[in-house]
Amino acid sequence: MELRHLRYLIAVADAGSVSAASVRVHVTQPSLSRQLRQLERELGVGLFSRTERSIQLSAAGRQFLPLARDLVARADAAVAAAHTLASGRLEQLTIAAPGTTLTDVIAPFLAGLGPDDPMPTVWEELPVSVYGALPRGADLAIGTTPPASHLASLAVADLPVWAYVRHDDQWGARVDVTLSQLVTRDLLLLSSDFHPRRALDEALSRTGTAYETVVEVGTPEVAQALAAAGRGVAVLSDDPRFGLRPLRITAPEGPVHISLYAAWQPDHHAAASLSGLAGRLADFCIERYGASVAPQSRTRRQAPAPG
């Protein structure tokens, strides 16, 4: 059974006659009649009731017609999808990222997509496994550690780690705080599974400074809620909530920050489009947070060619 025979069946059903259908499908009437009979022979069922002056779908033909339409529609969709893949266009986009990045960076970025951009979906992943989402079907992964060398990638932003205090706190009028000052306070910190905590731990280890009082909190939202209740200083990379004031944390080598990277499979059919989206995300971060978040190098890294 060939798709063109199914198209001829549909054309006759829609046009009402072989002669009218032959004009639609650009096949002579005798040839069209022969090929319809061939389809009936292959299927082993009569699809038409014929008289000298007319041809109509039989009862079997009426039942078979929806199946033929479905098969042809699926074939047309497959061809269209193949053309899209060959052109390097993205119709759908799946982005994998940690929860905080999805909330504070990815979601606002997606709000600015245009009608010609792909339809996005997002996967929330743990920071330690975000790049593992690429072989599982994600198109673009946004992580906070440098991607493996076999991936194509772009450094997107260096986002500050903030110390959050209430406006009536003793530091409420400040814009920054040093590490040595920070560790003297009661700190509300995430676990070391989260990159803001890791960045703070690493900055402290380089100075030889130790924490004095730490309360580990399970989520960034709860950390900010406790800070708003006056229970300590929350150290996070999230956007502010509950009217808290963000203070930049300064270390001898500069502000404490986490780096954001975009990564994708270098052999992805839309690798060029993904590279362009990563660049747009980097530009968006600068627009949203200021020029200070621009990474020192935005050079795109292409993975080496196989072999």
Terminal Cα-to-Cα distance of the chain (whole angstroms):
42
Co-location of 135 and 277 in the same domain: yes
Whether residue 304 lies inside any domain: the answer is no
pLDDT in tens, 224-255: 999 999 999 999 988 899 999 999 999 988 88
Write the CB contacts of 150 (distance below 8 Å, at least 6 apart in sequence): 266, 303, 304
How far apart, in whole angstroms, are the C-alpha atoms of residue 150 and residue 283?
25
Co-location of 174 and 195 in the same domain: yes
Owner of token pair 């990564």? 263
Q: How confident is the model at residue 17 (pLDDT cuts 50, 70, 90)?
A: confident
Arithmetic mean of pLDDT, 283-292? 90
* Main-chain phi, psi angles of 106, to 5 degrees: -70, -50
Residue where one domain finishes, among candidates 69, 87, 105: 87
Burial of 73 (0-12, 13-18, 19+ CB in 10 A): exposed
pLDDT in tens, 76-117: 777 776 766 665 667 889 999 988 889 889 999 999 999 989
CA angle 65, 68, 73 (to 5 degrees): 125
Whether residue 46 lies inside any domain: the answer is yes
pLDDT in tens, 154-203: 999 998 999 999 999 999 999 999 999 999 999 999 988 788 898 899 99
Strand partners, 259: 158
Q: Are strands 257-264 and 152-160 parallel, antiparallel or unpaired?
A: antiparallel
Co-location of 246 and 263 in the same domain: no
Domain that residue 54 falls in: 3-87
The tokens of 33 are what? Answer: 């009649």
How far apart, in whole angstroms, are the C-alpha atoms of residue 172 and residue 233?
11
pTM of the model: 0.63
